[in-house]
Amino acid sequence: MRPLPVVLLLLTQVASAQTVPPPPNGRLLASNCAQCHGTNGKGPGFERLAGESAREIYEEMKEMQSGKEGKGLMTKHAMGYSDAQLRALADYLSKQR
């Protein structure tokens, strides 16, 4: 058995796997919001987030993260994100229409 065909097969599989583009930054994080805010923040449900200002979404999440908004569900969600994740999430939701 020659190892060369196996190596070529593996390289072909790796190359084809890398051709799929990654999801937009923040999209996977936003999937956590879908149950209450709808797919991609478009509702129905609680506050519609799609198309809102990224700055406003980020600032609201930071406020919730601080605990000043109480101990509700959103506070718990916000505490689970890093600052970079909150920015990515806010940016993604602001670009949804």
pLDDT score of 13 more than 70:
no
90 pLDDT tier (thresholds 50, 70, 90): very high
Q: What is the CATH number of domain 24-94?
A: 1.10.760.10
Q: pLDDT tens digit string along 16-68?
A: 556 788 888 899 999 989 889 988 899 887 889 999 999 999 999 999 999 88
DSSP class per residue in 25-80? TTHHHHGGGHHHH-GGG--SSS---TTS-HHHHHHHHHHHHHTTT-SSHHHHHHHT
Name the residue ranges covered by the structural domains of the chain. 24-94
Q: Scanning the structure block, which residue is given the tokens 């505490």?
A: 79
